[in-house]
Structure 1
Amino acid sequence: MAKVNFYINKKNPDKEYTINVFLQNGRKGKFKKSTGLKIIGKHWDDLKQAPLPESKTGERNYYQLRRKLPKLKAKILESTIEANYNNETINSEWLSKVIEVFFGRSSADIDFIYLSDYANHFIDILPYRIQKNGVTGVSESTVKLYVTTLNKIIEFEKLKRKRFKIEEVNLKFHTDFIQFLSKVQKLNLNTIGKYIKCLKTILKNAKQYGLKINKEVESDAFRSTKEDIYFVTLNTDEIDKIFNLDLTNTPYLDNARNWLIIGVWTGARVSDLLKLDNSNINNNFIEYKSQKTKQKIILPIHWQVQSVIDRNEGNFPHKISNQRYNDWIKEVCKLAGINEVCKGSVFITKKTKSNKKEKTPQRKKVGTYPKWKLVSTHTARRSFATNHYGVLPTPVIMSATGHTTERMLLAYIRKTAKDNALVFQEFWKKEKMKQQKETKLKVIKTAN
């Protein structure tokens, strides 16, 4: 019986090592070969033959590695069984070829005419993709989005009982795929739009690779879907209510509240926020590297954030998951009386005959709800940007949020032409009042 194991020749835990594969083909032989994949020694779990969990590897992201190793193992075992059945010679060169084909390093044995095959290859090369800003590789969230897109394509193909070739992706495919994601998968139009955008990027990349794509893909009609997004922000008065709320009897809510306060005064994405600790403080400044954009963010510590740290014996709050943070800050805001009725959308979960909620939520339902129900993990970041816009210079806000252009920032906080006109109006009112005050002082002075 064939067995496959992964290992590294770890000597120095702080050095990077190549992950090797060991194939034992029953009594027919043992073979070793490099996978070409690398990992820091201290981040490798010898027992599980996999990278350690993300929480133990710091900034190192091994999502792609955790995804690929089990698939590679399955591919080698499958190929070994097939080769033994066909009486093929299995040796180190054979093993090397299987590995090369799996990773797309040898195009001779791979036919990229199928959409799912090329999409899988596209995901494999994401860590080596050079972005417009010169950075090599993409964030974990980007990889996950493309992986999910591929999974949606595969599910769509199963429903249609057909593997689609790249050239077969046309406007009809576009329409049918959107309909599948909406009616079968119960996804909202903005989520569907993300998958369509990924699909189009994969196809454009295939064209650059030299493959022929359908001309309809490049038409204006082959576009992403979208719908209005409703979100809420917390103003400074509401933030003060949350900050002053007595949660002594509910430590878990007190901890979530503390993270929320840090969030509204740092503008950090939740993926960065919940990882902050004392090592991110340097001379009264909070410093961290954005997981998504790889930008270095530096900003002063707000007095409420310092108070949170002081009340926690000089430490950041206890670590919690994104989901618990999302759920608990709603409870915190409810207790703080954040009850203003706002338009927004919430997930409506379906109930079974036994009156138990299903795990998969249905489409978001738009309506009017108390604001606390609409608060989510993203509320703190949007509140930070919104509360400081028009008060601080836009480039200063962008340096904290990590937005690279003013257009991106304004789109993020949904500032319209009317909003900007109101800022002008308020400024001119202050200028007029200032002028009237100066005129009055001159009149009084002349009279004296």
Structure 2
Amino acid sequence: MSTSDVSIMNSSENLLNISKESFSAPLVKSSEDLQQSDTPTWLTKDYLEQCLRKHYKDNKLKILRWDVRPALGKGENYGGVLTRIRAECQTHLGAVVSGHYVVKTSFEADEFARKTMEPYDIFNREMSIYENVLPRLNALLGEIGDHDKIFAETIAVDRERSALIFEDLNVREFVMPNRFAGLNMNLSKMVLRKIAKMHASSTVLNERENGCLETFDRGFFNRHTDNYMPGFEGLLLACSRRVAQWDSYQYYANKLMALKAKYAELGKQVFDPIPGHVNVLAHGDLWTNNIMVKYDKNTGEPLDVTIIDFQYAAWGSPALDLHYFLNTSLEEDMHLNHQDELIQCYYETFSDTLNKLQYRVKIPSLHQFHLQLEEKAFYAFHSTCVILAVQRNEDTEDADFKAIMQNDQRATRFKDTCFSNIYVQHIIKTLLPIYERRGLLDLEQ
């Protein structure tokens, strides 16, 4: 859930092209002048200067002034600390230019978050994705003449500190879409075409390199740890409490309550790859806040999208991304009535890219693909009835990682507040009976 971007530049001369604007606000001269509470103590001017010197291949580059501030507000991010930096730099040519960056780090100051996330190894895995996987996917797509920019590229990867540094996409007029409004048809299709290319190229990479991506097996549900289950189960029970307040819905509330006993296993079955099905490297957390969009200034129409944040990338069914995205990130009418159209859009790009890359296994037909998605349909229910409420929550007073994962009074209040959202209630009221008729509320699926 980050707001990062990136454009690799090979020399300090290229730095001149980033931004020649002056800072409109006074800058600090050292990290001591402006140190946000979550900003790591090691993130100093000298540290950033060394990273920029290495990236731009300019050993004389010098940061004259810099400005540090949080990249996101409360309720926008639960997976790490994001810091936005503006730096006024002098290159070896003597030119003074402005650079804009986003630094993504772990919750190192929060022991609870650190220990809870530790078994998922999200920071090391994301660094591996950016450093080793995404460049190879880009190279594969380049083989077929497809140079569409799908991902953000990195300025620096620091494994010792679990940190990533990106060029700030906002400078190139990419912004995060409105998570409360949801995405329209045009923008949704743009996202799906790009994730389809990522999926297809990852399938071919895994085929060519003897299962190289199958070690990415620690998504939100996995066979290694249940550390996130208190959060998912707490949200499920909050959903049940809300549903029980509606006329004629007590039956569904009871089924939701009973589902808690099997919830972890049902989630793990979604994430288990099925032999004989097409499997991909899924993004794992594909929703509105992990998409950056460039809009036409005159028409407001989307021109391009970039997909960011790969902490929960996982080898498995394309359903991991499709069910999650389609049931958390769309406008209401799209969510309720147009998912088949969007799946067809995704499938056309996915199958076309696989064919162009000469994938050796038989590609499923559209009908067969739908059947494979249906085997993972529990994740559509999970995304709608558990995840959507957090992602559309507008009351951020208690919005933090502990409020999701714990069960004290504050955490319970936060979860109940999430399900007080009228939009979320309408979606759940509409879809819950459909999920029940499809058997997605049953313990045996």
TM range (shorter): under 0.3
Which of structures 1 and 2 has the bigger CA Rg? 1
Which has the larger share of helix?
1
Compute the TM-score of the two structures, normalised by the length of structure 2: 0.25
Compute the TM-score of the two structures, normalised by the length of structure 1: 0.25
Q: Which has the higher contact order (CA 8 A, sep 6+)?
A: 2
